[in-house]
Amino acid sequence: MSDFDSFKSSGYTMPRPFECAVESDGVRQLVFDLTKQYLIEHEDALPLTAKLQLPFKDVPPPQLWSDIMNGVNESSALQKLLISPAIVSRFRSLLDAELEMFPISFFRAQFPWMERSVYSWHQDMGTWYASRVPWLGRYRPVTLWFSLNGADQENSLDIAVNSDRNQLFSHSHVPDQGSFRAEIDFDPEEKFEVFVPKCDADEGMFFSDLCLHRTRRGPGLRPRYSVDIRYYDPKCLARPDVPISFRLKRMYQMLIGRSG
């Protein structure tokens, strides 16, 4: 099944490789430079991708997570990856439309022991729908979850298959994260089949902004690094079913944004 058919039928695609090692190595090098003093002993000649797969020798200082997130997300290396021709062309093939980059496209560092880097069940649209930037909720960006150092059965995502039913659930605020908790009265693991993507570095999968998913917490001290890359068709407006309470919350935030 093609990525287009898979995405339309189930809301996600299988992980596939991307030919953008030059751009992704720029991000990996930055991550390694920020973390190398905390990693277990290793040979200098080890490939860069393998270095990022090494565990920390001990739980590093909490500030390291913030330093990595800020350092990478503000870097030119990340910007080069976001507009990599290999990535943009795959978005074009999937959406068959003119594209614009969605501003919420970020590097993610998942430290298994750090709660703020472990996200519960949510939909991407729910995280920004009620923000103070009203135009973010008007469109349907597609997310490319792009792996920088691989993911396995124990350290990945949980994807609720066929959970994109044009319904946006209300989302509540999680301290140190944002609106990353879907307010649902069911267990997605009981209602849907759950797919756990396994992939190598420089592989990624697409999923829709209404697809329920969560972080799968990894064991031990091995971090997982990925990038959420989003593009959208500016001609395709979002028209999901939204609870009235969440619509009112969005209106309130829009009013605050205008008055601020």
Whether residue 260 is predicted with pLDDT greater than 50 in this model: the reply is no
Please provide the average confidence, as pLDDT, over all residues in the chain. 94
Whether residue 31 is predicted with pLDDT greater than 90 in this model: the reply is yes
Specify the DSSP element, H or E, that contains 215: strand 213-216
Confidence of residue 257 (pLDDT cuts 50, 70, 90): low
Confidence of residue 256 (pLDDT cuts 50, 70, 90): confident
Looking at residue 217, its pLDDT comes to 87
- pLDDT tens digits, 80-101: 999 999 999 999 999 988 899 9
Quick one: average pLDDT of 108-131?
95
Specify the DSSP element, H or E, that contains 171: strand 171-174
Quick one: average pLDDT of 64-71?
97
Which tokens belong to 163? 């959970």
Q: How many C-beta atoms surround the C-beta of residue 257 within 10 A? A: 12
Q: Which domains does the chain have, with CATH numbers?
A: 3-259 (2.60.120.620)
Which tokens belong to 217? 């917490």
Q: How many C-beta atoms surround the C-beta of residue 237 within 10 A? A: 9
